[in-house]
Amino acid sequence: MSRKGKDVVLDAESDDDGYQEKSDKSDEGNLTHKLMKSKKSKAPPCDSGDDLPPPNMKKFMKGFSEFDVTQHVFKKEVAKYDKNKGCDALKCGTIRERTKNMREWFETVCKIDANIMGKVEAAMAEWKEQSPPEEWKKYLAKRIQQFQDELSLTMGVHCVIFHGHHSNSMDKGIEVGISETAPKLQTLEFKQHQFGHKICDRLGEAFMEYLQDEFNPVLNADDEDDKVSGHKGEKVEMEKDSLGALILPPYSSLKLPGQKDAIQQIMHEAYIKYTNNQHTHVPWKLLINALELISEDCLPDDLYEFPNPSKLIGSQVQQIWDLWLARQAKGEPIVMFTGCKKGDLKAEVEEKWGRHQKGKKKEYVEINEENDGDQCDGEQEGGDHPGASPGVDQGHIDTQSPAAHASDKQTRVAFLQTLSKAKTYQDLVPLSSTMITKPVLFNISAVP
């Protein structure tokens, strides 16, 4: 508990003591009444029926003071007064002196002038009703972090906050951010856990749709049908410039799945351009631990790894988008690779393919023209012989082979008679000339 909280408790106790002494004077000797009052005075504020925040959290409930609004509304007047005091706004060492001068101007000039104070009160009412100007929201992340740290310190809770506001980028769309307390006993933050980041994606997308429907003046009911939805699994169609590079669309024109797909397409095109290889793919697993493969100017400062875009959370996508839109507006390449996976360069692929083909190449065998001519002549001469077996080279048939005696029936019978002198075989040789060589169909009837 902070000292301020202790002061509040002590004040409460002192008030109760005074009340107790008064009751003692009015109710002399009424011990029961005194004990009841004393017991009631020791009860904490939350038990008395008042839903009061912890005393040390009241600093987040004070709102805007007159001094806060004055130094923003009358910024030029304050700067002029500060300059007359001899302070240089460009020097960081003069911040303490400048703050002192600002407070002095507020006390000696602003509070005396009724016209200035009237404008301050009107601005305070407007801020309270419609929220402060966009310039004031540059302290949003710091205030949220302070609030979360205070909750973690005083209550021991693990806090995850989704916050939405208008973007400071060129398209002036709606942004959704996620802030989380630093884990104490856990090893990972909720938004980095394998299940937590999925929940953050779903909640962030739902919150973004709500904010766009309620507060975004760009996306109204007339052009809602023209909005690219970018549902999960759907490929986003992206336009190209005159040089063939992909054009990053406005952040608010796509939902989270479509934004992730657009990031993936841009990374793929940039990797192909670097490797000069149309068949390669971005090594996402390698980029988790090797961000040096991408130019550091193309990545946000707090992005320590670049996983597959499907694993990115909404706040990371938003940071990447804002940075890439700024580079695109300057005419710079959105993404530039400075390295690649080994073997992805086109020169390396061609070299590897050349070695592969060289290892499989057959040795050259020179053909003898004379032998080749004789073989062709033999094929022409033996091509018309009846009974020649297909695929047999007639120019080189052995004289002892049956194919050499298959020119006519008489030569074939004479050759068969020389094969054996057995009487039974000799009786069958003449019958070979009468053998049926064509298939004949027979009708076979079933025997009962």
**Average pLDDT rounded to a whole number, residues 356-373:** 54
Given this model, what pLDDT does residue 367 score? 59
Given this model, what pLDDT does residue 20 score? 40
CB 283 within 8 A of CB 341: yes
Given this model, what pLDDT does residue 60 score? 60
Strands 174-180 vs 160-166: parallel, antiparallel or unpaired:
antiparallel
CB 20 within 8 A of CB 34: yes
Name the phi and psi angles at 88, rounded to 5.
-100, 120
Which residue is it, tokens 């039974």? 424
Enter the CATH code of domain 256-353: 3.90.1460
Report the distance separating Cα 259 and Cα 256, nearest Å: 5
Residues 193-250: pLDDT tens digits? 777 777 887 887 788 777 776 665 444 443 443 344 444 556 788 888 888 888 898 8
CB 261 within 8 A of CB 309: yes
Q: How far is CA 333 from CA 249, 298, 432, in A?
A: 15, 9, 89
Given this model, what pLDDT does residue 88 score? 62
Percentage above 90 pLDDT, the chain: 1
CB 252 within 8 A of CB 216: yes
Report the distance separating Cα 272 and Cα 256, nearest Å: 25
Report the distance separating Cα 335 and Cα 338, nearest Å: 10
Six token digits for residue 375: 């073989």
Report the distance separating Cα 200 and Cα 160, nearest Å: 10
Given this model, what pLDDT does residue 1 score? 38
Six token digits for residue 337: 């690779």
Residues 267-299: pLDDT tens digits? 989 888 888 888 888 888 888 777 788 888 888
Q: What is the DSSP string of 295-317?
A: -GGGS-TT------GGG--HHHH
Six token digits for residue 161: 């906050």
CB 208 within 8 A of CB 166: no
Given this model, what pLDDT does residue 391 score? 46
Q: How many residues does the chain have?
A: 448
The residues of the chain that CATH labels 3.90.1460 are 256-353
Which residue intervals of 290-445 are DSSP H helices?
A: 314-329, 346-360, 369-382, 409-417, 423-428
Those residues whose C-beta lies under 8 Å from the C-beta of residue 377, and which sit 6 or more positions away, are: 395
Given this model, what pLDDT does residue 390 score? 47
DSSP bridge pairs for 161? 179
Query: How remote is the C-alpha of 301 from its chain's centroid?
Result: 16
Task: Tell me how far apart the 2 most distant CA atoms of the chain are, in Å.
Answer: 160
Reduce the DSSP state of residue 165 to 3 states and report it.
strand
Buried-exposed string 156-169: b where 16+ CB fall within 10 A, e elsewhere: eebbbebebebbeb
Among 40-49, 70-79, 214-223, 235-244, name the most confident range: 235-244
Query: How remote is the C-alpha of 143 from its chain's centroid?
Result: 27
Report the distance separating Cα 307 and Cα 309, nearest Å: 6
**Average pLDDT rounded to a whole number, residues 15-35:** 41
Given this model, what pLDDT does residue 62 score? 61
Percentage above 70 pLDDT, the chain: 58
CA–CA–CA angle 168, 172, 178 (5° rounding): 60
Given this model, what pLDDT does residue 124 score? 78
Over 60: is that where the pLDDT of 170 sits? Answer: no
Given this model, what pLDDT does residue 16 score? 41
Residues 387-446: pLDDT tens digits? 444 444 545 667 777 777 677 777 888 888 788 878 888 888 887 777 655 555 555 555
Q: What is the DSSP string of 73-123?
A: HTHHHHHHHHHHTT--TT-GGGHHHHHHHHHHHIIIIITT-HHHHHHHHHH
CB 324 within 8 A of CB 303: no
Which residue is it, tokens 């062709």? 376
Exposed, middle or buried: residue 262 (CB in 10 Å: 0-12, 13-18, 19+)? buried
Provide the residue type at 391 as one letter: G
